[in-house]
């Protein structure tokens, strides 16, 4: 078990900077998730940590020791790849036992630990099979088994669930989290799926274009996003953004969008009204307004998506569009006009450059 620290890490491939100025500290036993859209450099960071790539600048510490010059095998990290990377010519048992074999563990001990690990993962009956005889979920488990069997300092997961179907993904998500909590091994997990990131992590690192946008606890990042990118990326369905400006009217501050929508804002919402260039509202923080109150938007419905428990409504006015997740079932039709109001205190304010303005 060990802490992990990225210090000023940068990596370029030719002229392309894949990651720059990365500073992340992950505590011992913590479950850290690197999340961001494809190509943001999260996998590159993981590969640098594993020793499969060399950082162009900066340093990485595992357990307080600089590991920059160590080959992957000497870093005491275990990795699970997106395509599982099982050895096709080896049985499940041989796959799981391989890291131990490479460390010179004796055969009896390997057998014992393979059995023990197989039991944890429910693979006892599959030990003699070959990877091609397994389903996706089973392969995933074998890859997990191969990682946990040698009790490494750090687990590295590179989008391990993205090849599974939606249902299995949810189950494996819980299983990985459970195993990590039981073993208390420091984990660095890469995903582009923000739901995975929020549900699994103790710490989220949101990345974009090779840079870290925000590091924090999952709810922190959700509740207090550092900028418009993080706000839009974290949370599903995604946050609505309205561009415009705040003006002060006689009755208090009011947000006016470019296409003329207006909405009354609570007093003291932003210290400097002129700074605010857009507001963000999460779809689940929008409710129906009964009458044309001053803090509601008057919109026309363009799409109604009943989800069963809730109703998702996409409504427009000019170039402005809002999606709202309304509790319960509602009989709306496209073309109807609708009054939507943001829940008080749930608005996010952003400056021109996209950084969040916290009150």
Partner 1 sequence: MSPRTGTILISAALFALTLGCAGIVFFPYYWMIVSSLEAASLFEWPPRLVPSNVTMDAYVKIFTERDVFTWFKNTAFVASATSIFCTLVAINGGYALSRFRTGGTTAFSIFILFSQLLPATLIVVPLYVIFRQTGLYNSLIGLAIADAAFVLPLATWLMKGFFDRIPVEVEEQAMVDGCTRVGAFYRIVLPLALPGLVVVVAMSFITGWDEFFLARTLISSQSNWVFSVGLTSFETQYAIAWDEMMAAAVVFALPAVFFFLFVQRYLVSGLTSGAVKG
Residues lying near partner 1 in the complex (CB under 8 A) = 50-52, 71-73, 75, 77-79, 81-89, 98-99, 102-103, 131-132, 146, 156
- In the complex, the smallest distance separating the C-beta of residue 51 from partner 1, rounded to whole angstroms, is 8
Residue 122, by phi and psi: left (phi above 0), alpha (psi -120 to 50) or beta? left
- In the complex, the smallest distance separating the C-beta of residue 156 from partner 1, rounded to whole angstroms, is 8
- In the complex, the smallest distance separating the C-beta of residue 163 from partner 1, rounded to whole angstroms, is 11
- In the complex, the smallest distance separating the C-beta of residue 71 from partner 1, rounded to whole angstroms, is 7
Q: Which is nearer to partner 1, 96 or 230 (CB)?
A: 96
- In the complex, the smallest distance separating the C-beta of residue 252 from partner 1, rounded to whole angstroms, is 58
Q: Which is nearer to partner 1, 52 or 219 (CB)?
A: 52
Q: Which is nearer to partner 1, 127 or 276 (CB)?
A: 127
Q: Which is nearer to partner 1, 19 or 100 (CB)?
A: 100
Q: Name the burial class of residue 90, with classes exposed (0-12), middle (13-18) and buried (19+) by CB atoms within 10 angstroms of its CB.
A: middle
Q: Which is nearer to partner 1, 100 or 127 (CB)?
A: 100
- In the complex, the smallest distance separating the C-beta of residue 74 from partner 1, rounded to whole angstroms, is 9
Q: Which is nearer to partner 1, 38 or 89 (CB)?
A: 89
């Amino acid at each position: 078990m060990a802490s992990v620290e990225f210090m000023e890490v940068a990596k370029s491939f030719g002229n392309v900077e894949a990651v720059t100025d990365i500073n992340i500290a992950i505590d011992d036993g913590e479950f850290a998730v690197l999340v961001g859209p494809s190509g943001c450099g999260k996998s590159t960071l993981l590969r640098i940590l594993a020793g499969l790539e060399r950082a162009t600048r900066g340093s990485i510490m595992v357990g307080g020791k600089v590991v920059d010059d160590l080959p992957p095998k000497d870093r005491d990290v275990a990795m699970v790849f997106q395509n599982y990377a099982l050895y096709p010519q080896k049985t499940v048992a041989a796959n799981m036992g391989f890291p131990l074999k490479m460390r010179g563990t004796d055969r009896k001990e390997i057998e014992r630990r393979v059995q023990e690990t197989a039991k944890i993962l429910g693979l006892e009956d599959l030990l003699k099979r070959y990877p091609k005889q397994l389903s996706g979920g089973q392969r995933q488990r074998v890859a997990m088994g191969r990682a946990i069997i040698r009790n490494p300092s750090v687990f590295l997961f590179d989008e391990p669930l993205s090849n599974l179907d939606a249902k299995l993904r949810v189950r494996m998500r819980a299983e990985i989290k459970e195993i990590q909590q039981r073993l208390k091994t420091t984990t660095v997990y890469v995903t582009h799926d923000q739901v995975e990131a929020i549900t699994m992590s103790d710490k989220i690192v949101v990345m974009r274009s090779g840079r870290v946008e925000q590091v924090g606890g999952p709810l922190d990042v959700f509740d207090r996003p550092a900028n418009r990118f993080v706000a839009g990326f974290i949370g599903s369905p995604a946050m609505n953004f309205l561009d415009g400006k705040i003006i002060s009217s006689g009755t208090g501050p009011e947000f006016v969008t470019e296409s003329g929508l207006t909405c009354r804002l609570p007093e003291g919402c932003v210290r400097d009204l002129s700074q605010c260039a857009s507001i963000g509202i999460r779809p689940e923080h929008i409710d129906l307004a009964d009458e044309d109150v001053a803090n509601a938007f008057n919109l026309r419905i363009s799409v109604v998506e009943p989800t069963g428990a809730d109703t998702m409504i996409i409504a427009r006015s000019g170039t402005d569009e809002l999606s709202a997740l309304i509790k319960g079932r509602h009989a709306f039709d496209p073309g109807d006009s609708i009054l939507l109001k943001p829940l008080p205190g749930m608005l996010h304010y952003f400056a021109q450059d996209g950084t969040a303005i916290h009150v």
